[in-house]
Amino acid sequence: MRVLITGGAGFIGSHLAEALLHAGHHVDIIDNLSTGSIRNVAHLKQHPKFKYVIDTITNEPLLAELIDGNDVIFHLAAAVGVKLIVEQPVHTIETNVHGTEVVLKHANKKKKLVFIASTSEVYGKNTDVPFREDANLVMGATVKHRWAYACSKAIDEFLALAYWKERGLPVVVVRFFNTVGPKQTGQYGMVLPNFVRQALAGEPITVFGDGTQSRSFTDVSDVVECLVKLMHEKKAVGEVFNIGNPQEVTILKLAELVKAQTGSESAIEFVPYDKAYETGFEDMPRRVPDITKIHNLVGFQPTVQLGEIISRVVHYFRSQQS
């Protein structure tokens, strides 16, 4: 099978490319390197079934050619990270909504299977956890730029499912819950790599808010294994799936675990949201997935638990320092 990954030099995209090549598939990637890095796929360049293009998906003639030459499209290209989203809301909305629009438009010409990468952020301020795929999406006010990302990804989902309902384009929507692992950076606000980098550097480990907010972290290896299984499952078409780990941890506890695993002497410091992001910033108190639906379809169950996840990220950062 031939597979195109938009955003293929990014964190999840590069791991997915490795997994697909290992399974014997041909892989093309396109990435403008705005948040991805060519280093993530440098070791794949000589692979006979791998091809990469450094360009934007808004280059429609090029995108159309790439889609035409592949059977499946994993659309991972997006503006990501809370810091980037707060600082560049226009870029966030335009990149996510327009990028998805052009992918779906060209995939529809020959009805190519499209996976739309969404996010747990779409559940917004909903407090009914764990989140089910059919739960209400509760967004904050439009004057709070923090919700621009969630809204843009919700529009992506609506658009993809509309293409399936109205035009018969096979689509699958996957909502990622805090996917982490080697090759992820903290450049745009990803919490675990930021904690590890700070701990290893002996800097204060900065916890935003009071640290009682909780998240669930999924190792990228579990995520890509699930994506590869979904690619072969016809019953997935037209559906939305949570992909995450139901194990929940507070951000303060996460900081303490990172400090312990690294043997760091760093202090844990609390930074108010207003100082970390912007005045009036709103956060989700809990974000926990219900994975019953994906488990019933492809048997997905996270195998890498939090202690090992942290260990892998610490090992990666240490390897980059040597």
Query: If you average pLDDT over residues 84-94, what whole number do you get?
Result: 82
The pLDDT score that the predictor gives to residue 81 is: 67
Q: List, in order, residues 6 or more apart from 58 with CB less than 8 Å away.
A: 98, 99, 102
State how far the Cα of 150 lies from the Cα of 160, in Å rounded to an integer.
15
DSSP letter, residue 16: H
Q: Which residues contact 156 (CB under 8 A, 6 or more apart)?
A: 96, 97, 100, 116, 118
pLDDT class of 95 with cuts at 50, 70, 90: confident
Catalytic residue positions? 149
Range of the domain at 122: 2-178+220-244+289-296
Q: Is the dihedral of CA 94, 108, 58, 35 positive or negative?
A: positive
**320, part of any domain:** no
| 315 in Cβ contact with 243 (< 8 Å) | no
Residue 31 lies in a domain: yes
48, pLDDT greater than 80 = yes
Q: Is pLDDT of 101 > 90? A: yes
- Dist CA 225 CA 19 (whole Å): 7
d(CA 256, CA 261): 9
- Residue 85: per-residue pLDDT: 74
Mean pLDDT of 268-279: 89
Q: Percent of the chain scored above 70 by pLDDT? A: 98
User: What is the Cα Rg of the chain in Å?
Assistant: 19
Which pLDDT belongs to residue 322? 66
pLDDT at 278: 77
Query: Is 208 in contact with 273 (CB distance < 8 Å)?
Result: yes
CATH of the domain at 53: 3.40.50.720
Per-residue pLDDT tens over the stretch 303-322: 999 999 999 999 999 998 86
**pLDDT tens digits for range 206-254:** 999 999 999 999 999 999 999 999 999 999 999 999 999 999 999 999 9
Token representation of residue 44: 């794949």
Q: Is residue 135 part of a domain?
A: yes
In a domain, 203, yes or no: no
Q: How many CB atoms lie within 10 A of CB 265?
A: 8
Give the C-alpha distances (Å, rounded to integers) separating 294 from 17, 91, 224, 243.
21, 32, 13, 7
Q: Please give the backbone phi and psi of residue 139, each rounded to the nearest 5 degrees, phi first.
A: -90, 155
Q: What pLDDT score does 188 carry? A: 59
> What is the rounded distance in angstroms from the CA atom of residue 315 to the CA atom of residue 188?
21
What one-letter code names the amino acid at 229? K
Length of the chain counted residue by residue = 322
How far CA 321 is from CA of 197, 200, 224, 226, 318, in Å, comes to: 10, 10, 26, 31, 5
In a domain, 125, yes or no: yes
311 backbone dihedrals φ, ψ, rounded to 5°: -60, -40
With CA atoms as reference, report the closest residue to 152 among 82, 224, 95, 107. Answer: 95
Is residue 10 in a domain? yes
Residue 268 lies in a domain: no
Per the prediction, the chain carries an average pLDDT of 94
User: Could you give the CA distance from residue 231 to residue 115 in angstroms, rounded to a whole number?
Assistant: 8
Is it the case that residue 166 has pLDDT exceeding 80? Answer: yes
pLDDT-derived band at 35 (thresholds 50, 70, 90) equals confident
Percent of the chain residues topping a pLDDT of 90: 85
In a domain, 62, yes or no: yes
pLDDT single digits (tens) 3-24? 999 999 999 999 999 999 999 9
Q: What band does 27 get if pLDDT is binned at 50, 70 and 90?
A: very high
Instruction: Please tell me the total count of domains within the chain.
Output: 1
Q: Under a CB-based contact definition with an 8 Å cutoff, are residues 10 and 76 in contact?
A: yes
3-state secondary structure 30-76: EECCCCCCHHHCHHHCCCCCEEEEECCCCCHHHHHHHHHCCCEEEEC
Q: Decide: residue 128, CB within 10 A, 0-12 exposed, 13-18 middle, 19+ buried.
A: exposed
Which DSSP letter does residue 26 get? E
Query: Residue 71's pLDDT is what?
Result: 98
CA distance 179 to 198: 19
Q: What does DSSP say about strands 214-215 and 249-250: parallel, antiparallel, or unpaired?
A: antiparallel
